[in-house]
C-alpha cells in the first residue's frame, strides 16, 4: 500500500465499512476527496476504481472512523523530556487515534489565547493527528480565579477543566458553571475530593493496609461527583466527569441521566482492565489518579460501558520519565501512557463478550466527538477523511520498548491482546502503516 497525496482522491476498496454512529456494518468501498469522505457504500467501485485515483486495498479488514481520544497529557510546552506533540502524535497514529484533546496542565498553563493558538498551530505543523486543547477553568489551575472562558473558546479551546486537579471550592465551581452555561461550554471535572485523597497513593482497602500505604477511599470520587451534580441541577451547565473508577460514580451518573441532567462521563482502560492487585509489591507503574480499584468497581465500570452510562473511553495518557516513576510508591508520579494501548484494550472488552463491538467502538469515536461538538468520529458523506483500518482479530503482545511515545510507563507491558490498527489515515493521508 502506498501513501496517497493529500491533494488527490483516495479509494479504499474491499473494506468492511463500520460506523458505530450510524450502525453501518457492510462490505464496500469508500472514497476520500479533498480530505473528506465523498462517497461510500457496498456498490461503490463495483465497476473498478477510476483512473488517477489512489487505491488502498483493505483486504476485508474493518474500516472505521479514526479514534477520538478526549483526554491526554502531551507535556508540550514545558516538559518535553517526558513527551512532546510530535512523539505523542506518532503514538496516537500508531494506535489508530486521529484526534487528541490535551489537558491544560502544561508550562505555561493553557489559560490564555496565545497558548491555545500555539497548541493548534503545532498540531497542524506536525500533521499526524488533530490536536485540540482544553483550556484551564481557573487561572493557573489554582482553583481561585476563573479563566476567560469566552475568549479561550473563541481561540479554539473545546472545553474547560483544571486537568488532574479537582475544582474543589464549591463557590468557585458554581461560578465556573454559570459562566460556562452562558456560552454553552463544556466543563470537565476530575472528580476526587482532595481532603480525602491526599496524601493517598492507592485504593483504600486490605491491600493498601498490608503494604502500609495511605489509601484513597472510593467515596472521595463519589462525594465530589454528587456535590457537582447538585450544582449542575442548579446551573444547567454541560458537565463531564473524567475517568470515573468506582461503582458509586457509575450509579450517580446513571441516576443523573435519568433525571435529565446534561451530564456525560468517561473512563480509561486501566479501570476496566486492571484492579488494585496490579500494584503488587509497590509497582509504581500501576499508580494512577484516580487509583486502580477492586474487582467490584472494575465490573461496575464494564457494566457502565455496556449499558451506555459511561459515554466514552479515553486513553488518559500521562507520560512520565523514569526518574518520576522509579521512586518510593508514595513519592512517585501518578499516571500511565495510553495512546498505543487504547484500541486493543477496548477490543478486549469485545473479545471477552462484555461489550458489543458497536458500543465499544462508539465509545472511542462518535461518543467523544459528540460530547466535544467535533465534526468527526463517523463514516458519512462530508465527514473528515480521518480513518482507521483495524484487524480486530490479530493477536499480539504489548511491548513498551516499541512505543512511539517518549515515555514508557505502562503496567500493560507484555500483556497479550487481540486487534490493532494496521493503517491510520488523516484527511486522506496515510500517517501510520502497521505490520501486515
Q: Containing H/E element for 64?
A: strand 62-65
Question: What burial letters (b/e) apply to 60-77, b meaning 16+ CB within 10 Å?
Answer: ebbbbbbbbbbbbbbbbb
Burial of 402 from C-beta contacts in 10 A (0-12 / 13-18 / 19+): exposed
Catalytic residue among 69, 162, 316, 386, which?
Answer: 316
Sheet containing strand 67-72, strands side by side: 67-72, 97-102, 130-133
Would you call 323 a catalytic residue per the annotation? no
Give, as one character, the DSSP assignment of residue 402. G
Q: How far apart are CA 166 and CA 172, in angstroms?
A: 11
**Residues β-bridged to residue 396:** 417
Q: Within 10 Å of residue 172's Cβ, how many Cβ atoms?
A: 18
C-alpha cell at 358: 458497536
Contacts of 249 (CB under 8 A, 6+ apart): 191, 221, 222, 225, 241, 265
Q: Within 10 Å of residue 420's Cβ, how many Cβ atoms?
A: 24
Q: How many residues does the chain have?
A: 436
What is the SS3 assignment for 423?
strand
Q: What secondary structure does DSSP assign to 86-144, as a single string?
A: HHHHHHHHHTTEEEEEE-S-SSS-S-SHHHHHHHHHHHHHH-SSEEEE-EESBGGG-SS
Select from 407, 283, 393 the least CA-distant residue to 347.
Answer: 393
Q: How far apart are CA 313 and CA 360, in angstroms?
A: 9
Residues labelled catalytic:
316
Amino acid at each position: 500500500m502506498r501513501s496517497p497525496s493529500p491533494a488527490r482522491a483516495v479509494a479504499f476498496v474491499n473494506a468492511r465499512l463500520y460506523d458505530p454512529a450510524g450502525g453501518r456494518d457492510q462490505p464496500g468501498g469508500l472514497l476520500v476527496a479533498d480530505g473528506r469522505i465523498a462517497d461510500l457504500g457496498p456498490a461503490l467501485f463495483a465497476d473498478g476504481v477510476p483512473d488517477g485515483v489512489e487505491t488502498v486495498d483493505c483486504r476485508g479488514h474493518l474500516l472505521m472512523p479514526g479514534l477520538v481520544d478526549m483526554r491526554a497529557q502531551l507535556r508540550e510546552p514545558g516538559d518535553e523530556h517526558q513527551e512532546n506533540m510530535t512523539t505523542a502524535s506518532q503514538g496516537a497514529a500508531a494506535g489508530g487515534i486521529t484526534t487528541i484533546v490535551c489537558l491544560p496542565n502544561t508550562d505555561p498553563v493553557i489559560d490564555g489565547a496565545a497558548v491555545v493558538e500555539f497548541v493548534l498551530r503545532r498540531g497542524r505543523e506536525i500533521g499526524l493527528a488533530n490536536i485540540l486543547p482544553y483550556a484551564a477553568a481557573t487561572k493557573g489551575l489554582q482553583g481561585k480565579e476563573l479563566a476567560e472562558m469566552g475568549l479561550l473558546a473563541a481561540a479554539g479551546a473545546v472545553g474547560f477543566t483544571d486537568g488532574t486537579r479537582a475544582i474543589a471550592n464549591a463557590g468557585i465551581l458554581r461560578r465556573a458553571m454559570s459562566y460556562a452555561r452562558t456560552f454553552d461550554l463544556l466543563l470537565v471535572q476530575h472528580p476526587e475530593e482532595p481532603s480525602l485523597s491526599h496524601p493517598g497513593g492507592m485504593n483504600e482497602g486490605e491491600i493498601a493496609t498490608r503494604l502500609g500505604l495511605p489509601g484513597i477511599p472510593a467515596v472521595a470520587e463519589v462525594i465530589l461527583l454528587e456535590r457537582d451534580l447538585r450544582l449542575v441541577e442548579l446551573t444547567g451547565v454541560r458537565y463531564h466527569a473524567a475517568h470515573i473508577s468506582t461503582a458509586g460514580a457509575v450509579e450517580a451518573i446513571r441516576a443523573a441521566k435519568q433525571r435529565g441532567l446534561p451530564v456525560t462521563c468517561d473512563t480509561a482502560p486501566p479501570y476496566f482492565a486492571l484492579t488494585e492487585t496490579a500494584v503488587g509489591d509497590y509497582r509504581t507503574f500501576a499508580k494512577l489518579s484516580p487509583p486502580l480499584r477492586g474487582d467490584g468497581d472494575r465490573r461496575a465500570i464494564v457494566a457502565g460501558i455496556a449499558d451506555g452510562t459511561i459515554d466514552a473511553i479515553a486513553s488518559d495518557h500521562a507520560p512520565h520519565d523514569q526518574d518520576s516513576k522509579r521512586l518510593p510508591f508514595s513519592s512517585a508520579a501518578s499516571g500511565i501512557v495510553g495512546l498505543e494501548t487504547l484500541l486493543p484494550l477496548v477490543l478486549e472488552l469485545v473479545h471477552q463478550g462484555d461489550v458489543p463491538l458497536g458500543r465499544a467502538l462508539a465509545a472511542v469515536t462518535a461518543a467523544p466527538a459528540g460530547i466535544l461538538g467535533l465534526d468527526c468520529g463517523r463514516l458519512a458523506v462530508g465527514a473528515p477523511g480521518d480513518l482507521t483500518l483495524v484487524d480486530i482479530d490479530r493477536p499480539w503482545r504489548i511491548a513498551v520498548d516499541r512505543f512511539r511515545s517518549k515515555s514508557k510507563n505502562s503496567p500493560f507491558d507484555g500483556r497479550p491482546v487481540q486487534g490493532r490498527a494496521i493503517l491510520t489515515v488523516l484527511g486522506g493521508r496515510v500517517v501510520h502503516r502497521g505490520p501486515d
